[in-house]
């Protein structure tokens, strides 16, 4: 009798464990950076778009593009929503089949770019990029950040005459205030915050327009892991539909969507409600050659060691 009870108990334990494992696998883990580009992820969660599709979501914040990309490639998350496009190109150098991009953020033409700015101290005598010769310019850490700054400055002066200093994002404004750097080239809202704090002023807004990328610049992207696509294709399709729906909602209800930036990114409310947006670009609206043109420019600046056909990195339903 004891033996039967023990067997029944063991079977019950195994059934409970199996049920827990299946439930855990049903959860979709989406990593995000605390940046403006991630807004559709926040909208889809807060407006219940994920729940409407029966998706159980776990939103996981990350502090850097490197960390979130490592998590995707290692299988610790199922989706990135979102991070800088150049990070995917780095991954594609060695792991081109480990992810698929399904949504982008950036511009689709040479219109004003709202994603970057060049900022100097409020009382700086500098008047334009040519004045950066011999000066220290802060950037985010990483080869792509420096390469992008170098490409922009090359349109005005020889970038080898500029001293680039890589700094963690939270340190850019304090370094500028302390005189450790003369300017910084960084994504927004770094510039807006520096100006609102009375530390800096804009030397140049929309610097990326100087690159003359006629088809625009896809600066950030959302992507699935290949493992998630293979094992749970139906959930991937639903997830893409939710984020596409969030993009449409944001376009039509921008004022209502902006407060989610305060909750998820920690931006000051005044900045969250006023920071200019570029565009979230659905795949059916995107010209894949725009991504290739951007990659080729960065490749020429030495950011990558291998050529990549970026047109093959996108999700196909």
Domain ranges of the chain: 26-110+216-312, 116-211
Distance CA 30, CA 60 (A): 6
Q: One fold for both 26-110+216-312 and 116-211? A: yes
Of the candidates 21, 31, 11, 36, the residue with the CA atom closest to the CA atom of residue 275 = 36
The per-residue b/e assignment along 122-141, b for 16 or more CB within 10 angstroms, e otherwise, is eebebeebebbeeebbbbbe
Confidence at residue 39, expressed as pLDDT on a 0 to 100 scale: 98
pLDDT at 5 over 60: no
Predicted pLDDT at 25: 58
pTM, full prediction: 0.83
pLDDT confidence band for 111 (50 / 70 / 90): confident
What distance, in Å, lies between the first and last C-alpha atoms of the chain?
Answer: 56
Superfamily of domain 116-211: Periplasmic binding protein-like II (3.40.190.10)
- Token pair of 11, please? 């079977």
Cα–Cα nearest to 173, from 185, 190, 192: 190
For position 3, what pLDDT does the model report? 52
Give residue 20's pLDDT band: very low, low, confident or very high (50, 70, 90): very low
At residue 108, what are phi and psi to the nearest 5 degrees?
A: -115, 10
112 pLDDT more than 80: no
> pLDDT tens digits, residue range 134-189?
999 999 888 888 989 999 999 999 999 999 999 988 899 999 999 999 999 998 88
Side by side, the strands of the sheet bearing 27-33 are 56-62, 27-33, 79-84, 218-225, 99-106, 279-282
* Residue 223 pLDDT: 98
Torsion of CA 142, 61, 86, 204, to 10 degrees: -70
> What number does CATH give the domain 26-110+216-312?
3.40.190.10
Calculate the average pLDDT of the chain: 90
How much helix, strand and coil, in percent to the nearest 5, is found in the chain?
A: 50, 20, 30
């Amino acid at each position: 009798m004891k033996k039967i009870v023990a067997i029944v108990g063991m079977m019950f334990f195994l059934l409970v464990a199996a049920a827990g494992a299946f439930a855990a696998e049903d959860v979709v883990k989406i990593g995000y950076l605390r940046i403006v580009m991630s807004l559709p992820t926040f909208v889809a969660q807060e407006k219940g778009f994920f729940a409407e599709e029966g998706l159980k979501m776990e939103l996981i914040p990350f502090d850097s593009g490197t960390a979130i990309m490592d998590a995707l490639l290692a299988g610790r998350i199922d989706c990135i929503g979102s991070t800088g496009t150049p990070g995917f190109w780095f991954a594609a150098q060695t792991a081109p089949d480990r992810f698929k991009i399904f949504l982008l953020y950036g511009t689709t033409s040479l219109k004003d770019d709202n994603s970057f700015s060049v900022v100097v101290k409020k009382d700086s005598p500098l008047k334009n990029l040519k004045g950066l010769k011999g000066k220290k310019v802060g950037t985010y850490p990483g080869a792509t950040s420096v390469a992008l700054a170098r490409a922009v400055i090359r349109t005005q002066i020889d970038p080898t005459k500029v001293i680039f200093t890589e700094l963690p994002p939270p340190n850019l404004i304090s370094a500028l205030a302390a005189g450790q750097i003369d300017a910084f080239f960084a994504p927004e809202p770094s510039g807006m915050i520096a100006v609102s704090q009375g530390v800096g002023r804009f030397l140049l807004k929309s610097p990326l327009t100087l690159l003359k990328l006629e088809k625009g610049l896809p600066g950030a992207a959302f992507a699935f892991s290949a493992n998630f696509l293979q094992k749970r294709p139906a959930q991937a399709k639903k997830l893409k539909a939710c984020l596409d729906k969030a993009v449409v909602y944001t376009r039509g209800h921008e004022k209502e969507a902006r407060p989610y930036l305060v909750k998820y990114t920690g931006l000051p409310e005044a900045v969250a409600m006023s920071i200019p947006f570029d565009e979230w670009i659905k795949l059916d609206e995107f010209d894949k050659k725009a991504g290739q043109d951007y990659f080729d420019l960065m490749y020429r600046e030495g950011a990558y060691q291998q050529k990549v056909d970026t047109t093959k990195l996108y999700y196909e339903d």
